[in-house]
Amino acid sequence: QITLKESGPTLVKPTQTLTLTCTFSGFSLSTSGVGVGWIRQPPGKALEWLALIYWDDDKRYSPSLKSRLTITKDTSKNQVVLTMTNMDPVDTATYYCAHSYYYDHAFDIWGQGTMVTVSS
Amino acid sequence: EIVLTQSPGTLSLSPGERATLSCRASQSVSSSYLAWYQQKPGQAPRLLIYGASSRATGIPDRFSGSGSGTDFTLTISRLEPEDFAVYYCQQYGSSHMYTFGQGTKLEIK
């Protein structure tokens, strides 16, 4: 059974850097074809894809946020970490991590999400 | 960047009725990489359809997906009370980027 869980601060100040961790079980990020992505959702708004890392350490970023994002993986800890620099109140959202397969690029299993508020 | 436009924004129907949700892409999308999700309030999205027409594990057969190129459709044949939610389409493109549509809210009439 695949599960994912996001963790990180619930409140960050403007200009700070956000670090979120996705801890997963039921699969290995060293298995060919596997990926873990990050998606966010501002309150009452639509989903927005942020970044994804593949089993071979290939990384993809949303063009609009690429300069602010870094995604990394720690295969031994079954974790994926997303950092976002220069946080702004418009970045207030629920942040989800999700499992994906390279062959269909759909997000088949999602974490519960973690709400991050950006405010001074 | 491929933009996905979903219509209608809100769809008001009654249980037992048929729902047809549209997802239109700004340029051609590979059918292999078009997915649909359901999201209920306070919950994470759930994958319904991948590859434009394949149901995900455990998804009832009243949900079906179709389409190709720039026009894709999610159909719910007979609405159950638990189907009222927000639905998103998502694509993966040649530029190795993912995008979501803005969502369609399916509400009880």
The predicted-structure confidence for B55-85, as pLDDT tens digits, reads as follows 999 999 999 999 999 999 999 999 999 999 9
How far, in Å, CA of B21 to CA of B39, rounded? Answer: 14
Interface of B with A (CB under 8 A): 1, 32-33, 35, 37, 39, 44-47, 50-51, 56-57, 88, 90, 92, 96-103
pLDDT band at B5 (very low <50, low <70, confident <90, very high): very high
Which of B44, B50, B57 has its CB closest to that of A112? B44
- Closest among A15, A5, A97 to A51, alpha carbons compared: A97
Residue whose entry in the numeric block shows the structure tokens 């044949």: B77
Looking at residue B1, what is its pLDDT?
86
3-state secondary structure of B6: strand
A40-69 mean pLDDT? 97
pLDDT at B94 over 80: no
Cβ contact A5:A111 at 8 Å: yes
A63-76 mean pLDDT? 97
- Closest among B11, B16, B27, B14 to B74, alpha carbons compared: B11
